[in-house]
């Protein structure tokens, strides 16, 4: 257990576990859903996973919306430039981690809002609990398929960036 705890980085805590715990706390306060766990280990695993989903939602949806050509709220550097700059200044990775935490917090509040809206719609049109679970699984499949594609893109860009340096 100590080995697992030692391997948990600040990124994992602030971008996965922290938002997952906050989501469960806020969700219990503003909806009839209660995902709180009595068992601390199971709770930590569940909260981490919830935070991971919230983070992926932020990466795939919130990030895309904020960097869209129409909104032009944020703009990213070229990935090769980012890699080269990180090699020269290790603070950039820290800034990127904090940046991702802010995006994840935005995502947290958006997913809370979506959860409240879903609860109201589910009551209004009488969506069964079983149907809700099926919809959740489908949504998770979609989120992780697109996350996998995005991560594969980062790997390809990283390899290409490193091969240019040779």
Could you write out the DSSP letters of every residue in 4-48? HHHH--HHHIIIIIHHHHHHHHHHHHHSS-----SSHHHHHHHHH
Query: What is this structure's pTM?
Result: 0.89
Question: What percentage of the chain reaches a pLDDT higher than 70?
Answer: 95
Q: What angle do CA 100, 117, 35 make, to 5 degrees?
A: 70
Q: Is 45 exposed, middle or buried (0-12, 13-18, 19+ CB in 10 A)?
A: middle
Mean pLDDT of 114-143: 97
Give the integer Cα–Cα distance in Å for 19 and 49: 10
Residue with tokens 């090769």: 80
Asked if the model's pLDDT at residue 3 lies above 90, the reply is no
Closest CA to 102 of 70, 60, 147, 59: 59
Write down the pLDDT at residue 165.
Answer: 64
Phi/psi-derived region of residue 83, left when phi > 0, alpha when psi is between -120 and 50, beta in every other case: alpha
Are 116 and 29 in contact by the 8 Å Cβ rule? The answer is: no
Write down the pLDDT at residue 13.
Answer: 86
pLDDT digits (tens, 9 = 90+) for 78-116: 888 888 888 899 899 889 889 999 999 999 999 999 999
């Amino acid at each position: 257990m100590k080995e697992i705890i030692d391997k948990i980085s600040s990124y994992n805590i602030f971008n996965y576990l922290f938002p997952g715990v906050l989501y469960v706390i806020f969700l219990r306060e503003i909806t009839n859903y209660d995902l709180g766990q009595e068992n601390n280990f199971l709770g930590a695993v569940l909260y981490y996973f919830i935070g991971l989903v919230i983070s992926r939602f932020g990466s795939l949806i919130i990030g895309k919306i904020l960097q869209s050509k129409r909104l032009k709220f944020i703009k990213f550097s070229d990935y090769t430039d980012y890699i080269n700059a990180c090699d020269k200044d290790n603070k950039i990775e820290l800034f990127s981690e904090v940046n991702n935490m802010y995006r994840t917090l935005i995502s947290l509040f958006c997913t809370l809002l979506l959860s409240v809206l879903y609860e109201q719609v589910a009551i209004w049109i009488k969506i069964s609990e079983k149907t809700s679970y099926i919809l959740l699984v489908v949504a998770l499949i979609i989120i992780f398929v697109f996350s996998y594609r995005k991560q594969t893109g980062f790997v390809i860009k990283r390899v290409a960036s490193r091969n240019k340096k040779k």
